[in-house]
Amino acid sequence: MQELTHLDQLEAEAIYIIREVAAECEKPVMLYSVGKDSSVMLHLALKAFYPEKPPFPFMHIDTTWKFKEMIEFRDRKAKEFGIEMIVHSNEEAIQQGINPFDHGSAYTDIMKTTALKQGLDKYGFTVAFGGGRRDEEKSRAKERIFSFRNKNHSWDPKNQRPEMWKLFNTRINKGESIRVFPLSNWTEKDIWQYIRRENIDIVPLYSADVRPIVNRDGHIIMVDDERIKLEPGEKVEMKKIRFRTLGCYPLTGGVESDAVTLDEIIEETLGALSSERTSRVIDQEAAGSMERRKREGYF
Amino acid sequence: MKSLLKFITCGSVDDGKSTLIGHMLYEAKLLFADQERALELDSRLGSRGGKIDYSLLLDGLLAEREQGITIDVAYRYFTTSHRSFIVADTPGHEEYTRNMAVGASFADLAIILVDATKGIITQTKRHARICALMGIKHLVLAVNKMDLVGFDQRTFEAIKEEFIQTTAEFQIKSIQVIPVSATEGDNITTQSPNAPWYEGLALLPYLESIDVHTTDDTKPFMMPVQRVSRPDHTFRGFQGQIEAGKISVGDELMTLPSREKAKVKRILVTDQAQDSAYAGQPVTIQLDREVDVSRGCVLTMDNQVQEADSFASTILWMDDSVLTPGKHYWVKVGTKTLPGTVTAITHKIDINTGHTVPADQIVKNELAKCEFTLSDQIVFDSFEHNKSIGGFILIDRVTNMTSACGVIDQALKGESRFSTLDTGITRDVRAQQKGQSPLTVWFAGSDTVALAKEVEKRLMSSGYHTMLLESVSGETLRGTAEMAKVLNDAGLISLVSHDSISAGELETAREIIGGKGFIEVNADESGGMSIQDAAKSAVKRVVQSVIDHSPSNNYDI
């Protein structure tokens, strides 16, 4: 009898989880962040239900500071696969002019965490799939695949429900919700290898190209539009860079690279000496910052 | 393509468990550079002064760092040139047994740590028992801190011998005992010169080479249905993950519980049509005819798969509230969730020693043998044979907590062990001949015998036909209840005296006899009444019930 490969096993596990949610939960939504993990999630959702379309909508929390190419990619994919794509932003905060330059860490709380809570509440979603992986960060390493949130969307790491075998308990009380992480057991390497094996389309920003950048606090920040305010002494340079993760352009550091093809990207990534989230500026603020964020409802 | 090994580590912080795994990752140069930097940074806050504290790699949560212990399961991922690994680092303390069980339920192998200066302790035995219960078939005993006993071979051999004896009662396929030092790095990635008498592999090479392949080629096809896909009226497919065996287009399979036969028309492995599919794959199966199948049903070619609604099981209680027999829970087996009740606690199992302990309640982190009954029949198999439909969880219906996990030991037969032949003379005919309607009166309370005797005497003298039985808690209870039912079938009124029956057992008895013909009389509720008065009031209830249920009563309406 054939034995499943490592990737086959991870794929089967994720599809099992996605189908369980679709079968047992009342109002699921799949969060879509346009990044490579979201591309894998969308791909898995399409495979899980084929020939049926995924029986739930997708939702993008748009901070309005995403790379332009991400938005274009999102809209193109939604059309191509015929899926329902909800886009939600914290309109109130936009009116107030909240931005990543002036509002520091409060920006992420307001435009991502608060916006996510708003989006879930607005449509009454009880279950949200996310692309979180346990290899990303220490507090995620301890989170269950089905992770419960109270009425205020906050996580209690000390009181997680036991998760036994494949017997997922999807029951919740009114007001509570669940975050489900089908990619919990995937590593960054698995994601890349799966993207190659399945020939999954990803945002071109992952691929090296000559782009306008500034150097800021040791990070390479792309000048994606005119809203970026240059500090005294900063100047825009053209450099061949790519991104290992995607988010809001002012908060996402690029890396100098010549990796253009998928194979080159993978080779560079797997040989890299820096784990993935280093390029996310927020994670370096303080030891344990991610855990604090999650308690407050960050995905 | 590399294979995947999922394992857990069990032991307490004193055994150096997190240090062991941390050191393994570090030595194997598996850390990303910036994680190494973070480790050095964190170590400044840690307990080992300037030296690297490897355990900080695994203890992620702030609360745990403050307390210096591992509370929950932490998952880590690493790959060597030979294999991919997922390691679940679990807490060792008895208070966190349920967290350890979570890790164990996910793993194929367990590394159990002992401190060479202490040897096999109670905790070691507990860890082995939990691993075995959750279905782990391969164990590694890492005898740590060998440096502190001067790498003494005799100390090691004594611990090894005791461990092998301890685990003899479990169905373990392989055991490897390795002498190590987690802080110093002996026998972690390479064979240690300090223990030349140890001829086996060092820990990491052992993990890279062990075969834990679980799929059994000879098992027949079995798939619990996760969902029915009906995008339009032309397509109907059954989606799920194949849990055993292989299926090909054209094969005939059986649907359970509807017991219809159908042939496989088409197989989709995810989004690709294939001629066949095998265990572990996610599929959508189309059949050649309409069948009565929904989520929770099973498609199979396995004759061993059965249906039942009552089970004997072994459970691990994981909730802060106590296990209450008679209380309703949701029970999830495979892809089926149904209301159910724990009808009886057979006994508790001491989680450390494995000894049987009488019990009428079970608290968090305790193991017990229990009987439970579901609202309907489900398709199941023994946990040994088919993990996916042999394990279950109990969910609290109010808090939605996963209150317990367990494994099905066997079905409890719904049919009576007393068989009567069908002669055409019905229960009603027999009852009419005696001029009464049969029922069972179950006497509960702390002292039931005197009252039961008095009630029978009074019924007898009023012209009723009765029989008084005595029942005790435990395994004979079902037999007594079935006997009472046979007597009812013969047209008699059965009286059963049963001291100190539990709520769950009373529920079992009621279910066997049938709620309509069952009356409970609680001897304790008569308070200060004399036996005579209590009996008088009980007789009144019985007589009223006989009248209510009397077949002749129907003519009066």
Q: How confident is the model at residue A102 (pLDDT cuts 50, 70, 90)?
A: confident
* CB pair distance less than 8 Å for A167 and B332: yes
Q: Which of B35, B64, B84 to mutate to test the interface with A (most CBs of A within 10 A)?
A: B84
pLDDT at B413 over 50: yes
| Domain of residue B377, residue span | 307-411
Residue A107 lies in a domain: yes
- Give CA A232 to chain center in angstroms: 33
Active site residues of B: 500
Which of B356, B384, B411 terminates a domain? The answer is: B411
pLDDT at B177 over 80: yes
Chain length of chain A: 299
In this complex, the residue of A46, A272, A287 whose CB is nearest that of residue B42 is A287
Q: How high is the pLDDT of residue A286?
A: 43
Q: How high is the pLDDT of residue B420?
A: 77
Instruction: Say if A188 is an interface residue toward chain B (CB within 8 Å).
Output: no
B positions 305-334 inside 8 Å of A (CB): 318, 330, 332-333
Q: How confident is the model at residue A280 (pLDDT cuts 50, 70, 90)?
A: very low
- Taking alpha carbons only, the member of A112, A143, A152, A120 closest to residue A252 is A112
Could you tell me if A181 and A210 lie in one domain?
Answer: no
* CB pair distance less than 8 Å for A291 and B62: yes
Cα A99 to Cα A33, A65, A246, B265, B531: the distances in Å are 19, 8, 17, 57, 83
- CATH number at B155 reads 3.40.50.300
Residue B181 lies in a domain: yes
Residue of A nearest to B30 (CA): A273
Whole-number percent of chain B with pLDDT over 90: 39
pLDDT tens-digit readout, B119-164? 998 888 889 999 999 999 999 999 999 999 999 999 999 999 999 9
The Cα angle at residue A269 between residues A265 and A273, in degrees rounded to 5:
150
Could you tell me if A58 and A147 lie in one domain?
Answer: yes
- Which positions ≥6 away from B272 have C-beta within 8 Å? none
B324/B345 Cα distance (integer angstroms) = 9
Residue A198 lies in a domain: no
Q: How confident is the model at residue B351 (pLDDT cuts 50, 70, 90)?
A: confident
A36/A48 Cα distance (integer angstroms) = 18
Q: How high is the pLDDT of residue B48?
A: 45
Could you tell me if A119 and A144 lie in one domain?
Answer: yes
Which of B282, B300, B318 terminates a domain? The answer is: B300
Assign A121 to helix, strand or coil. Answer: helix
Assign A174 to helix, strand or coil. Answer: coil
Could you tell me if B169 and B240 lie in one domain?
Answer: no
More confident of the two residues B438 and B475: B438
Residue of B nearest to A46 (CA): B271
Token pair, residue B288, equals 């050649």
Instruction: Say if A126 is an interface residue toward chain B (CB within 8 Å).
Output: no
8 Å CB contact between A104 and A291: no
Distance to chain B for A94, nearest Cα, Å: 34
pLDDT at A50 over 50: yes
Q: How confident is the model at residue A41 (pLDDT cuts 50, 70, 90)?
A: very high
Instruction: Say if B231 is an interface residue toward chain A (CB within 8 Å).
Output: yes
Residue A196 lies in a domain: no
Distance to chain B for A154, nearest Cα, Å: 16
Q: How high is the pLDDT of residue B214?
A: 61
Residue A199 lies in a domain: no
pLDDT at A90 over 90: no
B280/B253 Cα distance (integer angstroms) = 18
Torsion sign (Cα): A243, A244, A249, A255:
negative
pLDDT tens-digit readout, B532-551? 888 898 899 888 887 776 65
In this complex, the residue of B86, B230, B282 whose CB is nearest that of residue A16 is B282
Residue B332 lies in a domain: yes
- CATH number at B340 reads 2.40.30.10
Could you tell me if A170 and A245 lie in one domain?
Answer: no
In this complex, the residue of A46, A163, A171 whose CB is nearest that of residue B395 is A171
Q: How high is the pLDDT of residue B30?
A: 58
* CB pair distance less than 8 Å for A275 and B281: no
8 Å CB contact between A248 and A282: no
The Cα angle at residue B256 between residues B244 and A17, in degrees rounded to 5:
55
- Over range B317-327, report the average pLDDT: 87
Q: How high is the pLDDT of residue B52?
A: 61
Give rounded-to-5 percent helix, strand, coil for chain A.
40, 15, 45
User: How many other C-beta atoms lie within 10 A of the C-beta of residue B223?
Assistant: 29
More confident of the two residues B19 and B315: B315
Cα B352 to Cα A281, B126, B235: the distances in Å are 48, 5, 54
- Taking alpha carbons only, the member of B212, B202, B200, B205 closest to residue B135 is B212
Which of B265, B285, B300 terminates a domain? The answer is: B300
Structurally, chain B folds into a number of domains equal to 4
pLDDT at B63 over 50: no
User: How many other C-beta atoms lie within 10 A of the C-beta of residue B5?
Assistant: 22
pLDDT tens-digit readout, A153-180? 788 877 788 899 999 999 988 888 999 9
Tell me the whole-structure pTM to 2 decimals: 0.79
Q: How high is the pLDDT of residue A272?
A: 53
- Over range A217-221, report the average pLDDT: 87
The tokens 């008095």 sit on which residue? B454
Q: How confident is the model at residue B368 (pLDDT cuts 50, 70, 90)?
A: very high
> Can you list the positions of beta strands (E) in B282-327?
282-287, 298-300, 306-317
8 Å CB contact between B225 and B293: yes
Could you tell me if A34 and A163 lie in one domain?
Answer: yes
Mean pLDDT, rounded, of chain A: 85
The string of DSSP codes covering B278-289 is ETT-EEEEEESS
Could you tell me if B349 and B478 lie in one domain?
Answer: no
Q: What is the DSSP letter of B356?
A: E
* CB pair distance less than 8 Å for B405 and A47: no
B416/A79 Cα distance (integer angstroms) = 62
More confident of the two residues A278 and A26: A26
- CATH number at A106 reads 3.40.50.620
- The tally of CA atoms less than 13 A away on the side-chain side of residue B169 is 12
Could you tell me if B29 and B62 lie in one domain?
Answer: yes
Structurally, chain A folds into a number of domains equal to 2
Q: Which of B239, B313, B314, B381 to mutate to test the interface with A (most CBs of A within 10 A)?
A: B239
Q: How confident is the model at residue B25 (pLDDT cuts 50, 70, 90)?
A: confident
Could you tell me if B173 and B119 lie in one domain?
Answer: yes
8 Å CB contact between A61 and A70: no
Q: How high is the pLDDT of residue B219?
A: 85
- Over range B55-68, report the average pLDDT: 51
B positions 56-95 inside 8 Å of A (CB): 58, 60-63, 71-77, 79, 84, 86
8 Å CB contact between A9 and B4: yes
- Which positions ≥6 away from B163 have C-beta within 8 Å? B114, B120, B124, B128, B141, B175, B177
User: How many other C-beta atoms lie within 10 A of the C-beta of residue B174?
Assistant: 12
Could you tell me if B123 and B27 lie in one domain?
Answer: yes
| Domain of residue A68, residue span | 6-191+288-295
Query: Out of A20-34, B389-403, B496-510, which region has the weakest mean confidence (pLDDT)?
Result: B496-510
Could you tell me if B200 and B229 lie in one domain?
Answer: no
State the distance between the two ends of chain B, measured CA to CA, in whole angstroms.
Answer: 78
- Give CA A196 to chain center in angstroms: 19
A229/A236 Cα distance (integer angstroms) = 11
Could you tell me if B265 and B284 lie in one domain?
Answer: yes
- Give CA B112 to chain center in angstroms: 22
Q: How high is the pLDDT of residue B108?
A: 92
| Helical (H) or strand (E) element with A240 | strand A237-242
The string of DSSP codes covering A181-237 is -TTTT--HHHHHHHHHHHT----GGGS-EEEEEEEETTEEEE--STTPPPPTT---E
In this complex, the residue of A12, A162, A169 whose CB is nearest that of residue B282 is A12
pLDDT at B51 over 60: no
Token pair, residue A114, equals 């608060």
Could you tell me if A95 and A172 lie in one domain?
Answer: yes
Mean pLDDT, rounded, of chain B: 84
Q: What is the DSSP letter of B234?
A: T
**Integer Rg of chain B from CA:** 30
Distance to chain B for A172, nearest Cα, Å: 6
Q: How high is the pLDDT of residue A228?
A: 85
State the distance between the two ends of chain A, measured CA to CA, in whole angstroms.
Answer: 40
pLDDT tens-digit readout, B201-256? 999 999 999 988 665 567 899 999 999 999 888 899 999 999 999 999 999 999 98
Helices H / strands E in chain A, number of each? 9, 10
Residue B201 lies in a domain: yes
Could you tell me if B361 and B407 lie in one domain?
Answer: yes
